[in-house]
Amino acid sequence: MAPAPNETVVERVQRKAKEFQARAPLWANGGGDPNRIRPLAEQLDVHLKAEDPEKAEPILDELLEIVSETHGIASAPDQPMSTTPKSIRLSKFPNSAEIVFHHNEFIYVMDSNGENITQLTFDRGRHLEHVAVSYDRKRVVAKYFANPSQGHRSSRLVLFDLEQGTERGLVPFFQMAGNGGVEWDRDGFIYFAGVEREPFKNPRGRDQFIANAAANDVYKVKYDGSGLKRLTRTNERGEADVSVSEDGTMVSYMATYIDPPNDYTGIWVNSSDGDDPVLVYKGGKMKVSSVHDPELSPDNSEVIFSKVNPAFKNFSSDPNADTAHDLYRVRLDGSGLKRITEPGPISVIPDWVDDRVLFLLLTDRERPPYQGIAVLNSDGTELRRINSNANIAKWIPPMR
């Protein structure tokens, strides 16, 4: 396994140990022979107890090589992606690129007029939902569904290194990761909501891994897999839709409370270290008048978010048709609430840079129907439809 930049041997061993813990049960359930790895695991245990990471690491590398072999369920699409970089075909993008998005399982960039489209990924299509570019424009992180039939239960994170031409998994020991979005700060940390795996013994004694009893929490991790930190620890609610302020000091997210009569949603903000949480706006029940997709303003004074509008319905021929969502902005003290999109369409997942808000716009209230991304000013003026083929999009951090 290639060492990650700026990672100590202790951090590297911890990361590899977590990856081994995540992969070993899948390998065994898929036909791998536990007796094959037991002697190595016993040697590893000795070195870990002796706090000797230099001797532990080569054993971990050997164990990871074994449990990465294809065996039945271990080759299933929802297996954790290896954190070992794998060479793939990637392209770099021009300096003029301003927007990153996904379409038909591949990642693209383009300018703010929807032109000069450049494809970034080629080798293997994935069921993507969110993508984001690092501030140095060298890397792209994406959330994908390892097993689309399982939806968010199979959500994973993958990192593409455009300079090295590689892909690698992030936080493979998570049961779910990236729910509602992923976002970078300037220091190379990636923020996301997720659920870690925890070991337990079943009656037959085989190690397995299940999701924590707690719902999604907010985390951050360095792009090389180091520095993982849990920013929320809230058993009474689940977090999603994580966003980071432009200066990297604040995090916003939505939270869902699921126990009636306190089954409501809210927009929260806290520091990027997890301190000083503040409820900015209290929304209603999920899918009734719930709030989603918070994004901090460039000056950290306001939040823009989407809110379900049950007065309208889109794509009514679809049995899974969604009600409308409107975009609002509000100050962090809860004052100055203002709707900035016209009611009727589904306006969701805003991304705010300078005075421009990029978002996903879906509507059949016009002919022809529109399903793509759009841009408007933060005061709600000058709406422009950008690209009907682009799915959820984000601004690429400007070169400054």
Residue 285: partners with Cβ closer than 8 Å, 6 or more residues away: 263, 264, 265
Q: How many helices (H) and strands (E) does the chain have?
A: 3, 26
Specify whether the CB–CB gap between 59 and 44 falls below 8 A: yes
Q: What is the pLDDT of residue 215?
A: 61
pLDDT tens for each residue of 63-121: 888 876 544 333 344 455 778 899 999 999 999 999 999 998 999 999 999 999 999 99
Look at residues 291, 330, 335 and name the one whose alpha carbon lies nearest to residue 309: 291
User: What is the reported pLDDT for 76?
Assistant: 40
Please tell me the predicted confidence (pLDDT) of residue 201: 37
- Phi, psi of 254, rounded to the nearest 5 degrees: -100, 150
Q: Given this model, what pLDDT does residue 150 score?
A: 65
Cis peptide bond N-terminal to 203, omega within 30: no
**What pLDDT is recorded for position 320?**
67
CA distance 22 to 9: 20
Closest CA to 268 of 247, 284, 283, 258: 283
The confidence score (pLDDT) of residue 207 equals: 37
78-395 placed in CATH 3.40.190.10: no
Strands 166-170 and 155-161, sheet pairing: antiparallel
Given CA atoms 267, 134, 380, 360 in this order, what sign does their dihedral have?
negative
> And the tokens for 255?
């939270």
pLDDT of residue 393: 97
Positions of the chain with pLDDT lower than 50, given as ranges: 1-5, 70-78, 199-214
Question: How does pLDDT run across 367-387, given as a tens digit for each residue?
Answer: 888 999 999 999 999 999 999
Q: Angle at Cα 114 formed by Cα 113 and Cα 119, nearest 5°? A: 140
Which residues are 86's β-sheet partners? 167
